[in-house]
């Protein structure tokens, strides 16, 4: 301390100048107006998320086309234009729409059932210690188990039909959604829980009115993962045992065309799967996000 | 009971009788407060003041019904408090006490509807009346994440007051605010009190805040919290006629004496 003071006196820093005081009127905020500069045309374009993503897809399509052209082996990799052509003709013949609706209907059934089961399990886990232990044990046991591995068993139990597929779909959705919902519930802040209990909420109303909306970002993640898992499982199941009750889905479409060496149609089938995945993510989930978690400021 | 009955005047609204609170951590059983007793009367602005670690927030949680005392009891209007309930509305320190998925108006209405106190139009009217009292009518349809910290706390106060609870429990509600906003909020709280005459149990670690807000100040010692005394305040930091010392300085001396003892004890321990 003493050393520092000594150093200060030794340094030849002049005292700051003495300046006169002054006061002035400020311009009222509303008189200033909005100070802003409009963004340029390209900047505004670059701000559109869908445009940037469309650009990425375009680049991939062009690269695909160029590579397939250069390879020149339609049995291995058909060109992008051939795939599109097969896709259009599949749609025109009503083949692809039929297969898509078969697959999607089945998927929705399994998804809905999986979601309701996941909700019941997590609600139990939040209300009872034993339910919590049950959920944790089951998720850690079954989450790593690929749903498709249960298909042979499902075939023995439920036979060749929709029920078998729904069974494996439920398995693929249930654990992913339950895991995310549960971890979302547990990360709800103590303050919010206390607010809920302060208002006299307990049991199911507490879960519905406090935990579910507060954990919605995690739940939404679970829904997305569950959807992707279900989609994969469905296509795989259709590939493995093909036609269920006489009408095949997209997986069967891919398998069938592979057997007939109609490779562009195989690619068209894959293309459809991707297209549905993209549109569910960008149309449905994105809008749910915008209307909920982003509107509430829980996610930027 | 006899001593209470023979006392003149009204009976206390809230009675805290010999409350010892303990909570368990991984290894230890920690005693937060030891045999704390005090009475709060209707229209009191009762401040619980103490340094950090004196268990004042824990004490408030016990009054709120979030934890059960190991010893002693809490009685509200003569009935033992066992669970959280809308007759004791909490205002927390944290800004995340508002439900982010509801607008200001919906947040205030939520408490009314969830507790079954009011429904529909009546709930909306009551909510708007209290939102107006905290000067947030313009923001009734805003989501909490668009509000400043002070505004969020005002919404929380409106939500609690709209319930017209028997007692308002405030756990350092202004501690997370900047100094200017805090000062403004303190004045607004006093204004609201002058308006509606609610009963409030207010926890703080700030001596100036206690002196300004409270009409009765309970002093707690740290580790574990024990009652050191109760003082009266008129909000203007009055000078004690006996000692000629200002209230805030008296409080400071009482709490500061602890600090020295504590410092002496620690090296040996």
pLDDT at position B203: 94
ipTM of the complex: 0.84
B250 shares contact with chain A (CB less than 8 Å): no
- Tally of CA atoms within 13 A in the half-sphere of A253 that contains its CB: 28
pLDDT at position B92: 92
Mapped onto helix, strand or coil, the DSSP state of residue B20 is strand
B145 shares contact with chain A (CB less than 8 Å): yes
**Cβ-based neighbours of A235, under 8 Å, separated by 6 or more:** A103, A249, A250, A251, A254, A273
Q: Would you call A191 and B101 a contact, using CB atoms and an 8 Å cutoff? A: no
pLDDT at position A88: 92
- Chain B residues lying within 8 Å of A194, measured CB to CB: 64, 66, 84, 90, 92
User: Which residue from A minimizes the CA distance to B144?
Assistant: A296
Q: Domain range spanning residue B234? A: 2-87+165-268
Structural domain contains residue B100: no
pLDDT at position B260: 53
pLDDT at position A184: 92
CATH of the domain at B47: 3.40.50.300
Residue A244 has pLDDT above 60, yes or no: no
Residue A165 has pLDDT above 90, yes or no: no
Nearest to B132 by CA among B98, B111, B112, B161: B161
Residue A185 has pLDDT above 60, yes or no: yes
pLDDT at position A4: 54
Q: pLDDT higher for A299 or A273?
A: A273
B96 shares contact with chain A (CB less than 8 Å): yes
pLDDT at position B267: 44
A157 shares contact with chain B (CB less than 8 Å): no
Structural domain contains residue B135: no
Among A3-12, B82-91, B176-185, the minimum mean pLDDT is found in: A3-12
Q: pLDDT higher for B63 or A28?
A: B63
pLDDT at position B152: 92
Q: What percent of chain A has pLDDT over 90?
A: 32
pLDDT at position A67: 93
Structural domain contains residue B95: no
Structural domain contains residue B99: no
CB atoms within 10 A of CB A142: 16
Residue B74 has pLDDT above 80, yes or no: yes
Structural domain contains residue B264: yes
pLDDT at position B99: 92
Q: Give residue-wise pLDDT tens across range B185-225.
A: 899 899 989 988 999 999 999 999 999 999 999 998 888 88
- Chain A residues lying within 8 Å of B114, measured CB to CB: 196, 199-201, 205, 209
Structural domain contains residue B215: yes
Q: How many domains does chain B have?
A: 1
Residue B1: pLDDT band with limits 50, 70, 90: very low
Burial of A156 (0-12, 13-18, 19+ CB in 10 A): exposed
Nearest to A69 by CA among A83, A54, A55, A89: A83
d(CA B160, CA B136): 15
Q: Give residue-wise pLDDT tens across range A39-89.
A: 788 888 878 878 888 899 899 999 999 999 998 888 888 899 989 999 999
Cα-Cα end-to-end distance for chain B: 41
DSSP-derived letter for residue B8 is S
Structural domain contains residue B21: yes
pLDDT at position B259: 54
Structural domain contains residue B113: no
């Amino acid at each position: 301390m003493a050393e520092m003071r000594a150093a200060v006196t030794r340094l030849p820093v002049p005292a700051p100048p003495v300046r006169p005081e002054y006061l002035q009127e400020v311009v009222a905020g509303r008189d200033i107006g909005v100070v802003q500069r409009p963004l340029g045309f390209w900047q505004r374009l670059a701000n559109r998320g869908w445009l940037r993503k469309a650009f990425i897809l375009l680049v991939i399509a062009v690269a695909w086309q160029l590579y397939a052209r250069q390879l020149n082996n339609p049995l291995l990799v058909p060109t992008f234009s051939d795939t599109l052509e097969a896709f259009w003709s599949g749609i025109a013949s009503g083949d692809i729409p039929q297969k898509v609706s078969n697959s999607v209907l089945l998927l929705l059934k399994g998804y809905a059932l999986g979601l309701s089961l996941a909700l019941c399990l997590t609600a139990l886990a939040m209300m009872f210690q034993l339910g919590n232990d049950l959920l944790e044990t089951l998720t850690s046991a079954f989450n790593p188990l690929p749903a498709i591995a249960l298909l042979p068993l499902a075939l023995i139990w439920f036979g060749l039909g929709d029920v078998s597929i729904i069974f494996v779909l439920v398995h693929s959705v249930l654990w992913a959604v339950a895991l995310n919902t549960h971890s979302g519930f547990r990360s709800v802040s103590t303050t919010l829980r206390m607010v809920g209990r302060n208002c006299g909420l307990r049991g199911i109303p507490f879960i519905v009115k406090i935990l579910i909306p507060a954990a919605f970002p995690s739940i939404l993640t679970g829904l997305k993962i569950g959807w992707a898992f279900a989609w994969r499982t469905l296509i795989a199941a259709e590939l493995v045992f093909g036609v269920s009750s006489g009408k095949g889905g997209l997986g069967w479409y891919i398998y069938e065309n592979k057997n007939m060496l109609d490779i562009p149609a195989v690619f068209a089938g894959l293309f459809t799967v991707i297209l549905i995945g993209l549109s569910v993510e960008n149309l449905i989930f994105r809008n749910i996000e915008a209307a909920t978690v982003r509107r509430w400021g829980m996610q930027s | 009971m006899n001593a209470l009955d023979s006392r003149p005047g009204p009976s206390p609204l809230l009675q805290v009788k010999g409350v010892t609170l303990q909570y368990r951590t991984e290894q230890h059983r920690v005693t937060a407060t030891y045999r704390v007793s005090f009475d709060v009367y209707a229209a009191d602005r009762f401040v619980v003041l103490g340094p950090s670690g004196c268990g004042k927030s824990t004490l408030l949680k016990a009054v709120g019904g979030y934890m059960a005392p190991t010893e002693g009891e809490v009685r509200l209007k003569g009935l033992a408090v066992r669970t959280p309930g809308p007759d004791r509305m909490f205002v927390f320190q944290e800004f995340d006490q508002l439900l982010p998925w509801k607008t200001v108006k919906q947040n205030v209405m939520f408490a009314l509807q969830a507790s079954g106190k009011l429904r529909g139009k009546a709930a909306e009217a009551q909510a708007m009346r209290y939102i107006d009292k905290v000067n947030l009518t313009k923001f009734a349809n805003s989501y909490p994440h668009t509000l400043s910290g002070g505004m969020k706390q005002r919404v929380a106060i409106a939500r609690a007051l709209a319930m017209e609870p028997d007692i308002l429990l405030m756990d350092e509600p202004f501690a997370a605010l900047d100094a200017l906003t805090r000062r403004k909020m303190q004045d607004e709280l006093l204004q609201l009190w002058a308006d509606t005459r609610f009963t409030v149990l207010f926890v703080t670690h700030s001596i100036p805040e206690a002196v300004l807000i409270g009409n009765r100040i309970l002093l707690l010692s740290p580790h574990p919290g024990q009652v050191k005394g109760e003082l009266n305040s008129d909000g203007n930091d009055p000078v004690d006629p006996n000692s000629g010392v200002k209230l805030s300085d008296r409080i400071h001396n009482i709490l500061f004496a602890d600090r020295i003892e504590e410092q002496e004890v620690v090296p040996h321990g």
